[in-house]
Amino acid sequence: MFAGRRRLSGALGSCDDAIGVAYRRSVCNNSDREAEKEWDYHMNRLHRWLCQSTMWKRALERKLLPWVLEGIDLGDDVLEVGPGPGLTTDFLRTRVARMTAIEVDSRLADSLKRRMGGTNVRVAEGDATDMPFEDESFSAVVSLTMLHHVPSVALQDRLLAEVYRVLRPNGLFAGMDNTWNIAFHLIHLGDTMVVVDPNMFGPRLGAAGFRKVVIDRITGRFRFRALRAG
């Protein structure tokens, strides 16, 4: 199933409900050309800590993931894009038969691989905009608080096209991301942050071929569901 495609080195991302401003490079609102350069970003220690923190785990378990998964069926073979340290993977894997997680940050991918050894999860280091999976592989694809870490709208759209490609006919794409506010912006100073506009996300999913798109908003976030054509 792994076809061994292009890999990106480096690290991206942060958890987004906490305070942390220590960054090496600013790629916010990159042009697409800049974004096509090698991704060589670094997640600062505070962000790494926050992504694994009890605070984030509680928010995910008590509120956010039940909201994202409300009323949907992920099926038997689920792909998670951008698992980070894997708090989301921990939650999802107890609810599905088989899971794959693809993470672009080699350190996070390695650590998650070790942690998921012997479980129902296999972990791939790779780029969700160019995935090493066969067409029509998964019953569902889940993206949790990761899209805004993909450094351009063009690359985000490429990720949507890739998700469409690896989904089985009628497969489900579901997830959540943050909406823009000043606190969110400050937290991401110097970090990768191309915020997804929920008003435009439906049309973007439609352009990638998805149907039955539903977007719901709560303060600071939106969730989405969409189906691949049958």
Ligand X SMILES: C[S@@+](CC[C@H](N)C(=O)[O-])C[C@H]1O[C@@H](n2cnc3c(N)ncnc32)[C@H](O)[C@@H]1O
Residues in contact with ligand X by the rule CB under 6 A: 11-15, 51, 81-84, 87-88, 102-105, 108, 127-129, 144-146, 149-150
Cα-only R_g, the chain: 16
Q: Are 86 and 116 in contact (CB under 8 A)?
A: yes
Cβ proximity to ligand X: between 87 and 226 the closer is: 87
Exposure string of 72-87, with b = 16+ CB inside 10 Å and e = fewer, is eebbebbbbbbbbbbb
Cβ proximity to ligand X: between 18 and 213 the closer is: 18
Shortest Å, Cβ 55 to ligand X = 12
Shortest Å, Cβ 140 to ligand X = 15
Shortest Å, Cβ 98 to ligand X = 18
Shortest Å, Cβ 147 to ligand X = 8
Taking alpha carbons only, the member of 210, 87, 205 closest to residue 222 is: 205
CA distance 97 to 77: 6
Cβ proximity to ligand X: between 6 and 169 the closer is: 6
| Element of type H or E holding 33 | helix 32-36
Cβ proximity to ligand X: between 9 and 120 the closer is: 9
